[in-house]
Amino acid sequence: MSIFTPDTSTIKDFYQRGLYLLAWRVCLAFTVVFIFLGGVYSVTNASGIIPVIAVLSVTFFGFYYLKKTKNTRIVFWIFAIGGSLISGVAMSTMNEYTHYVDFLWLTCCILIAFIGLGSKEGLIFIFLNSISIFIFFFFALNNHIEVLSHRTVIENIGDFVEVLFAFFIIAYLLHQFVKMQRHAENKLIATNKSLEIQNKLNQTKSLENETLLKEIHHRVKNNLQIIISLLRMQSQDMKTEEGKEHFKEAINRIMTMSLIHEKLYAEKELSKINLQSYIEELTLEIVNAFTIADKDIKLFIKTDVKQINLNTIVPLGLLINELVSNSIKHGLKGVEHGEIRINISRKDNQYQFSYYDNGTWKEAAADKSSFGVELIDILTEQMNGEKSLDITNGTCYLFLLNDV
């Protein structure tokens, strides 16, 4: 730690630390050089002391403010405003000086604004300093040419030192800007690499989790299939048709859930199930389970719903199972050519589910104690839905359902 490199341990951010060192070193450089120039101008032309004192006042305030607050933004504002005013006033009023270096000082002020304050502020100082140059060319230049006299060696040395110093300040500002940009780029590259590594780890973990979930669904489906097989074996020991019918209904309900797990295992994405394919396979299984070979039942299934909540598809599948089962047992019992139509669409954040068969459910619908009818009501309520029934021409249910 020295006068050239002050203590920056309290500044954690690299960019802010770089700006602090930049402001401090610019203050230091201006102080040293303009003290020297003050000595030169005191010998050659005393009026040159005025801008020197103005510059030193700015640098001393910069030292004080940086030491006290560590806030660089105010200092850069003072540098940009003070430097622009000093150079602009000198160009317009001090005709006995060459003013070549003032163009470089205006350039320094613009760079300080860009680097220390931001691009918007830099553009503002380009505009303001352009006005100063315009005033010089159109209102002061002719007088300046008339007044300008032969330069002494000491005056040339002073001008030369000031020009070299201006070049140095411009080069240092650009060097620091490039340094901070490279640091930002390297940090961005390192962050991107870290994110890529993290992303690969997340993808690997996600793939492992998905594989594990698929295996779980596969095992659940196998366990449900075992339960179905046991129930089928048990149903063969039943002496009455009514008992066998109850077993068949239980098997179909379990099969409905088993089919969901089978679909989840087969799909590439666990969160997506092809609803059309699921309903087609489900209804076909139910029809084959309840009807005899010569029974003619045609299925018409249409859905424009591409994705459905996994918590919703289970009660929806059970609802379809009850509807199709009741159609076959009651509505289509005496119908030679049966017809079942299922249509599911989504509108206004609700599922519109219409179910139709060309039979009649009068007997079943009137029996409020029927387990199948009660289960339809329970499943509808579970999905926060509403239902309506029309038996004017066949049997038509209309459900408005919500995601669970």
Sequence spans of domains, the chain: 14-197, 273-404
Mean pLDDT by 10 residues, the chain (404 residues): 75 82 86 82 76 88 87 90 90 83 91 91 94 91 84 83 88 87 86 90 82 78 84 81 79 80 67 78 81 72 82 84 84 82 87 88 54 83 88 86 78
- Sort 352 into a burial class: Cβ within 10 Å, 0-12 / 13-18 / 19+: middle
102: closest CA among 31, 168, 159?
159
Strand partners, 357: 340, 395
Domain 273-404: give its CATH architecture.
2-Layer Sandwich (3.30)
CB atoms within 10 A of CB 114: 20
The pLDDT tens digits of the residues spanning 290-300 come to 765 556 788 99
Phi, psi of 353 (to 5 degrees): -120, 110
Q: C-alpha 161: how far from its chain's center?
A: 53
Instruction: Give CA–CA dist 45/147, Å, rounded.
Output: 14
Joined tokens for residue 328: 């076959």
The one-letter code for the residue type at 228 is I
Q: Which residue has the tokens 């315009």?
A: 134
Q: How many residues does the chain have?
A: 404
299: closest CA among 379, 365, 358?
358
Show the CA angle centred on residue 282, arms to residues 277 and 284, nearest 5°.
Answer: 100
Instruction: Give CA–CA dist 373/365, Å, rounded.
Output: 7
DSSP secondary structure, 156-196, as one string: HHHHHHHHHHHHHHHHHHHHHHHHHHHHHHHHHHHHHHHHH
Q: What is the pTM of this model?
A: 0.53
The pLDDT tens digits of the residues spanning 350-400 come to 889 999 998 876 554 445 556 777 888 888 888 888 988 888 788 889 998
Contact yes or no for 335/359 (Cβ under 8 A): yes
The pLDDT value recorded for residue 222 is 84
The pLDDT value recorded for residue 77 is 93
